[in-house]
Structure 1
Amino acid sequence: MASTTTHWQAYRYDPSLAAAVIFIVLFLVVTLVHSYHLIRTRTLFFIPFVLGGFFETVGYIGRAISAQQSPNWNVGPYIIQSVLTLVAPALFAASIYMELGRIIRLVHGEHLSIVRVSWMTKFFVFGDVFSFLLQSTGGGILGSSHSANNSLGTNIIVGGLFLQLIFFGFFLIGAINFQYRIGKRPTPESAEAYIPWRKHMMSLHVSSVLILVRSIFRVIEYLQGQDGYLLSTEVFIYIFDATLMFLVMITFLWVHPSQINCLLGKGEYHVTRGGLSLTEFKVPV
């Protein structure tokens, strides 16, 4: 009787080594830059975000290893790429949740938020962690060489992704609602020129939409099943996941949340002038 390993297919195509290496380099570089800024500015609430960048990097290292094993794939590298790239956006989301709470406190707009700021982070991060656990569990089960587990693993992943969509969708509605309400009833702090909260809200909205699109793609991908068109065509994972998550990381380099942290009296904020020197941000007194 043939061994069961000959019937197990990690991928419905031969993974591209070149594409995996490109995104290993991209994610590694941007994550190291984020790590540098994290340490330099002490923006500690961005630790989950940076961990997400390392998850993406290691995930694509696993994919590169798989690309060199085609068609006799080992389970280990497949599980690494499957689980880490699946759950990394949940870590990005955790830091984004925390940033919104800090922006609201900075402009003294607590009364304009539909979610009480004192437990906003706890509420959304709880949903994020639960989604994270479901997706990682499902990814581990799906990586099993036993085909009987495929349906269970897929269902758990889809459940985790739906949970992420629900919480993230509610978060995005709350963020948009807050910006609308403070636009109608501005606080004195929101009118201060030295508090550029609008550009931070814009980066938050852009990154949130990117993560939301990626999560919708992942839900459709897994609902189609292992033989579905999306899971059977490699280019989609790079367009609707890798590229979008890389853009999320770039967005927060362009508008770094350390400025919010500094204005709240925590850490430091630095700006680059001509790419040559760094100047510490000073709050007007």
Structure 2
Amino acid sequence: MAVLESHNGYYLWKYIPSSAAAGIFLTLFLFATAAHAYKVWTTKAKFCWAFTIGCFFEFVGYCARASAHNKTGKLMPYIIQNFFILVAPALFAASIYMTLGRIIRSIGAEKHSLVKVTWLTKTFVCGDIMSFLVQGGSAGLMFSASTVNIGQGMVVGGLFIQIVMFGIFALTAVVFQSRLRSNPTPQSYSSDIPWKQSLNMLYAVSALIMIRSIFRVIEYLMGQNGYLLGHEWTLYIFDSCMMFAVTVVFYFRYPSELERGAGRDSANVQMVPQEFYAKV
């Protein structure tokens, strides 16, 4: 029977992690990893590799969490699950940010972007990398009473960076859509380019990641003795379920058609009569 053990007198866990719950999610994220890897391979949408790696990070994290059921006093399972589950959404975010740039280019709407398209992806991905590094650096500080507060502070700082970047990203997407609605481009009328579906997908997955990030901020601000860190169900509801939902939504609204659609439409735009431009 599993018992709660300490590591050098410090309890890494506030409960015995459920091997069954971790087993369910490691299986789900294993399927997600395989499904997204297949999508990238068949569609050649290389910018989605970051998302696929994020799925794999989730899988590794829940593998470590499952193994921790009988090893609550062991350091490595705790660090591995903490690191990989914490930073995986930053990898999801990288592909999400890159998708917006492709949506804008696919319908020739660069002039409607709040941020210059050539800088759009670079700006958000750089912020995402910063969030990843700050959160990742906290993993080695969460196993000692003397450093845990520093580690929690780093996690909160990294999550705040992620929240701010997602907020600016959402504003950029909304302003872009508003401007496009007022002044549509000829390509935006094409049925070959699923830009509306892709944009709605971005809103959905961004909202899920934002809610998850806010939850994790509150979790760490409440501290080691807080309710959220002391009860496992909160992690599975507000992190695990939401991040798996992100992988499902992204899969069924995969942005691989954007570039190919733009290629087909760019040839058709040449043939659009001048009268059409006047109506637009």
TM-score between both structures, scaled by the size of structure 2: 0.90
User: Offset at 1:160?
Assistant: 0.6
Tell me, yes or no, if the aligned pair for 2:14 and 2:229 is still in contact at 8 Å: yes
Kindly state the Cα deviation for residue 183 of structure 1 after the two structures are TM-superposed: 1.2
- Which of 44, 47, 50 lines up with 1:48 in the alignment? 50
- Per-residue deviation, residues 4-57 of structure 1 (Å, max 9, x unmatched): 835211211111110000000000001101101111111100011000000000
Could you list the per-position Cα deviations for residues 126-173 of structure 1 after superposition, in whole angstroms to 9, with x for gaps in the alignment? 00000100000012211x3x2100111111111111111111111011
* Divergent runs of 4+, >3 A: 282-285
- Structure 2 alignment gaps of length 5 or more: 1-5, 269-280
Instruction: Tell me the alpha carbon deviations over residues 51-80 of structure 1, each in whole angstroms, 9 at most, x when there is no partner.
Output: 00000000000100111224xx21101001
- In the TM superposition, 1:47-196 aligns within 5 A as 47-70=49-72, 73-142=73-142, 144=143, 146-196=144-194
Distance across 2 between alignment mates of 1:248 and 1:62: 21
User: What is the one-letter code of the residue matched to 2:116?
Assistant: R
Query: What are the residue-to-residue correspondences of 1:126-275 with 2, within 5 Å?
Result: 126-142=126-142, 144=143, 146-265=144-263
Q: In the alignment, which residue of structure 2 is the partner of 1:28?
A: 30
Q: 1:8 aligns with which of 4, 7, 10?
A: 10
- Which residue type is aligned with residue 126 of structure 1? C
Q: State the distance in 1 between where 2:194 and 2:95 align.
A: 19
Unaligned 5+ runs, structure 1: 266-281
Q: Distance in 2 between matches of 1:261 and 1:34?
A: 18
**Cross-structure match for 2:278:** none
**For each residue in 1:255-277, what CA deviation from the matched residue of structure 2 results, as whole angstroms up to 9, or x when unmatched?**
11111132245xxxxxxxxxxxx
Distance 1:132 1:5 in 2: 27
| Partner amino acid, structure 2, of 1:63 | R
For residues 214 and 96 of structure 2, the distance between their equivalents in structure 1, rounded to whole angstroms, comes to 18
Q: CA deviation at 1:124?
A: 0.5
- Tell me how far apart the structure 2 counterparts of residues 36 and 109 of structure 1 sit (CA, whole Å): 30
Once residues 170 and 22 of structure 1 are traced to their aligned partners in structure 2, the CA distance between those partners, rounded to angstroms, is: 34
Give deviations 1:202-229, integer Å, cap 9, x for gaps: 1111000000000000000000001111
Aligned 8 A contact 2:141 2:150 in 1:
yes
Distance in 1 (CA, whole Å) between partners of 2:71 and 2:7 is 14
Aligned to 1:275: none
Aligned length: 263
| Paired AA for residue 48 in structure 1 | A
SS of 1:66 mapped into structure 2: helix
1:48 and 1:156 map into 2 onto residues whose CA distance is 23
Specify the code of the residue in structure 1 equivalent to 2:84: L
* Native 8 Å contact 2:107 2:262 kept in 1: no
Matched position secondary structure for 2:7: helix
- Normalized per residue, the structure richer in helix is 2
Q: 1:271-282 counterparts in 2 under 5 A?
A: none
8 A contact 2:7–2:74 mirrored in 1: no
Identity of aligned residues (%): 45
Give 1:252 deviation, angstroms.
Answer: 1.2
RMSD: 1.6
User: SS at 1:5's partner residue?
Assistant: coil
Instruction: For 1:129, give the aligned amino acid.
Output: I
Find the aligned partners of 1:31 and 1:102 in 2 and give their Cα distance.
23
Task: Give the Cα separation in 2 of the matches to 1:83 and 1:161.
Answer: 13
Q: Is contact 2:109-2:185 (8 Å) kept? A: yes
Cα distance in 2, alignment partners of residues 191 and 38 from structure 1: 27
